[in-house]
């Protein structure tokens, strides 16, 4: 063998030796750096327990203590204890229907027209109030989400109230002032099509009690932005209508026509989150023109332990003087669960009349302690 061929062979072996060495070092390194080699997921049966009270069943309690005082010397007290029961019923492959019952035992002394207690005017002393009592039937005709049925008592399908829990809050949306009630007994359909949600219902038009006293009831509905738009942009909004007859606060039938639009945006703000809400409704009550406007701004600190709100509201009726108020509210949260299902707070609300004879024309202070758990 010539020296040249020996040299060439050596040249060919060197890379091979390097390769082998590198592989050895790599394998050693891998062995050192992969302590998870050989670890595999264990197979185990998922925990499963189902009976009436463990399968999609929720029971919550509610405690509220509210005190009001106005600049004319009127004082009020509203104390209540309540509960909410929710239950969903399912087959092995589908959630079929759900029921919700929410009620309060209330004691009222005095009346100051607190922002969340319009009905208190006619309910001195003890009363038992049913707030929600409804059945939702999901996809009864097949498909998924396009058509569901609702029967019972719930928020009016007008404006933002269907997507806003005002059960415990002091600040309310427009419906109670506009229609005389924010909830009614009704049956109808709801669902989604494309990027929109819809609600279409027949309402008894009696508000608090399920009674017919000459009113025909109302047909009402809302077309609103779907939740993907809400998730992507923070923007909610919709158009609503209501037509028919309802009972007034005095228990008399009122021919009612309403058209409304609403919008709400929620997003990040300085060290917290911001929300802006607007509702507008126009129409007729017994052929007299009526209108209402609401604008609200909310701030919640990122700690979710305190926040501020401000609200402007105005209502006008043909032949009467318009009424307007501005409200300011501070809230201290002791518990403020994300889903609004474990709450404890103290609120101080002040309402100033701006225009017209707003019931008493007085500045009203309301202090509320609320717990929901």
Partner 1 sequence: MRSILSSILAGILFFPTQAFAAIGCTLNNPAEDLKYLFPGMTSYREELKEFGKLPDGKKAFEGLPARLRGELDPVYETYETAYTVYWAFKGKEKLGLVHGVNVPGQGGVIQVFLSLDPKTGAIKKFFFQRLESPAASALRAKAFRDKFTGFTLADFYKHDHYQDKDPKNPADKVGGIILPKTVSGKKDLQAALRGVRKNLVLMDLFVFGGMYEPFFERAQKVGAKAPGGKP
- The binding site for partner 1 (CB under 8 A) comprises 33-36, 39-47, 49, 53-61, 81-83, 86, 88, 90-95, 105, 138-139, 144-146, 191-192, 197, 226-228, 230-232, 234, 266-269, 272-273, 300, 302-304, 335-339, 341-342, 373
Smallest gap from residue 335 Cβ to partner 1 (A):
8
Closer Cβ to partner 1, 196 or 212, answer by number:
196
- Nearest CB to partner 1, comparing residues 264 and 313: 264
Nearer to partner 1, 71 or 342 (CB): 342
To partner 1, the closest distance from the beta carbon of 132 in angstroms equals 15
By beta-carbon proximity to partner 1, the closer residue of 236 and 285 is 236
Least spacing, CB of residue 164 vs partner 1, in Å: 13
**Closer residue to partner 1, CB minimum distance, 225 or 261:** 225
Q: How far is the CB of 61 from partner 1 (least distance, A)?
A: 5
Nearest approach, Cβ of residue 222 and partner 1 (Å):
14
Instruction: Tell me whether residue 235 or residue 326 sits nearer to partner 1 (CB atom).
Output: 235
- Minimum CB separation of residue 324 from partner 1 in Å reads 31
Closest approach, Cβ 227 to partner 1, in A, equals 4
Q: Which is nearer to partner 1, 202 or 299 (CB)?
A: 299
**Strand 75-90 to 95-109 pairing:** antiparallel
């Amino acid at each position: 063998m010539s020296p040249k061929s020996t040299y060439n062979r050596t040249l060919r072996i060197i890379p091979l030796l390097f390769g082998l060495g590198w592989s050895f070092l790599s394998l050693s390194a891998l062995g050192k750096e992969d302590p998870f080699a050989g670890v595999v997921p264990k197979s185990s049966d998922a925990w499963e327990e189902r009976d009436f009270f463990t399968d999609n069943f929720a029971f919550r309690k509610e405690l509220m203590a509210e005190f009001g005082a106005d600049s004319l010397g009127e004082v009020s007290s509203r104390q209540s204890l309540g509960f909410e029961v929710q239950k969903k019923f399912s087959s092995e492959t589908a959630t079929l229907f759900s029921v919700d019952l929410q009620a309060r035992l209330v004691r009222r002394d005095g009346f100051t027209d607190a922002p969340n207690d319009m009905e208190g005017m006619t309910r001195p002393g003890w009363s038992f109030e049913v707030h929600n009592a409804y059945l939702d039937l999901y996809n009864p005709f097949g498909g998924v989400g396009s058509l569901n049925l609702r029967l019972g008592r719930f928020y009016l399908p007008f404006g933002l109230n269907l997507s806003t829990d005002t059960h415990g809050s002091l600040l309310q949306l427009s419906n109670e002032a506009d229609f005389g009630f924010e909830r009614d007994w009704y049956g109808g359909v709801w669902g989604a099509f494309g990027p929109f949600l819809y609600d279409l219902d027949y309402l008894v038009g009696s508000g608090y009690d399920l009674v017919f006293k000459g009113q025909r009831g109302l047909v009402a509905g809302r077309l609103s932005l779907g939740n993907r738009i809400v998730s992507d942009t923070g923007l909610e909004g919709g158009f609503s209508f209501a037509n028919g007859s309802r009972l007034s606060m005095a228990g008399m039938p009122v021919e009612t026509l309403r058209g409304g639009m609403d919008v709400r945006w929620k997003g990040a703000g300085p060290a917290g989150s911001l929300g802006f809400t607007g509702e507008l409704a126009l129409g007729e009550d017994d052929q007299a023109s009526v209108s209402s406007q609401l604008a609200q701004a909310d701030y919640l600190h990122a700690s979710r332990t305190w926040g501020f709100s401000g609200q402007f509201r105005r209502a006008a009726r043909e032949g009467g003087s318009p009424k307007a108020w501005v409200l300011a509210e501070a809230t201290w949260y002791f518990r403020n669960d994300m889903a609004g299902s474990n709450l404890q707070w103290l609120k101080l609300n002040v309402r100033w009349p701006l225009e017209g004879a707003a019931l008493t024309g007085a500045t009203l202070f309301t202090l509320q302690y609320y717990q929901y758990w």
